[in-house]
Amino acid sequence: MNDRSAQRMAMLQEALASGGTLHLRDAAELCGVSEMTIRRDLSTQPSAISLLGGRLVMASCPGVTPVYDLTEQQSSHYQVKQRLCQRAASFIEEGDTLFIDCGSTLIPLLSQLSRFHELTVVTYALNVANAVAALPNVRLVLLGGLFYASSQSFGSDGMGAAIERLGINKALISAAGVDCERGVSCFHFHEVGPKQAAIATAMQRLLIVDASKFGVVRPAYFASLEDFDIVVTDDERAPGLLERHPLSTLSISLA
């Protein structure tokens, strides 16, 4: 983190010291920079500040955990993730162009793609790309940019526009947190752009999430529940939880 970035973070921490929140737009005005610069400051390295639904809060607030370990996530709830991916695979059809995001939830899905004769997978995740590259009948579109080792994924300012130029049949999206009021969130800010672009572009949007993610808020908000057509989960309470959301028209598919 350079000196100017550190000064901005110190200024924002002082503004948030009382425990309140600060809108991203106001934070940018306070520091005299763009909103994108503030986002970059926050994503450069672990910070005491998190971005939730367009507002900055201290990471020490309840329910916010900005630390992410991919190895740990891969071993967490693995059998559940396998069942979720088996259910998600039932929505895939021959000839589909799939957007598959990064993280550990959707990794078990990749081995199931070998039974298809014609598929295209669009991803910004290196671990997803490596697995797909070994499948003979699956065409791979790997979106590049700056590599983030912690999540084995790439990020760039132009990635959203690149995704929007593609014809995506189904977007398979994972999440680190799902809250009926605060929406769907993940750990990393560089994931927000590609996830949102895929959700906006795809003909069908699927959220694949295990029960441990419900009631959890992570640093980077990227969607509301209404942005998805289907939620694939293992939580039998999910229909009841989502019915409490007045605008929800989601289809719940239990693994």
Q: Which CATH number covers residue 17?
A: 1.10.10
CA 41 to chain CA mean position, Å: 19
Give, in order, the Cα–Cα distances in Å from 210 to each of 81, 83, 188. 7, 10, 19
CA nearest 44: which of 87, 85, 9, 12? 9
Do residue 247 and residue 144 come from a single domain?
Answer: yes
Q: What is the mean pLDDT of the chain?
A: 85
Do residue 159 and residue 34 come from a single domain?
Answer: no
The per-residue pLDDT for 66 is 46
CA 224-109-181 angle, to 5 degrees, is 15
Is residue 219 within 8 A of residue 179, CB to CB? The reply is: no
The per-residue pLDDT for 65 is 47
Domain count, the chain: 2
The per-residue pLDDT for 242 is 62
Is residue 163 within 8 A of residue 142, CB to CB? The reply is: no
pLDDT tens digits, one per residue of 132-162: 999 999 999 999 999 988 888 999 999 999 9
Mean pLDDT across the stretch 35-63? 73
Element (H, E) at 88: helix 78-89
Cα 213 from Cα 221, distance rounded (Å): 14
Do residue 23 and residue 85 come from a single domain?
Answer: no
Whether residue 115 is contained in a domain is answered as yes
The per-residue pLDDT for 60 is 60
The per-residue pLDDT for 12 is 87
Provide the Cα torsion 176, 179, 183, 189; round to 10°. -30
Given a cut of 90, whether residue 168 has pLDDT beyond it is: yes
Mean pLDDT across the stretch 94-119? 94
pLDDT tens digits, one per residue of 184-236: 999 899 999 999 999 999 999 999 998 888 888 898 999 999 899 999 998 77
Element (H, E) at 71: helix 70-75
Range of the domain at 31: 3-58
Whether residue 65 is contained in a domain is answered as no
224 versus 3: the higher-pLDDT residue is 224
Given a cut of 70, whether residue 240 has pLDDT beyond it is: no
The per-residue pLDDT for 17 is 73
Taking the model in full, what pTM does it have?
A: 0.69
Domain CATH for 226: 3.40.50.1360
Amino acid code (one letter) for 25: R
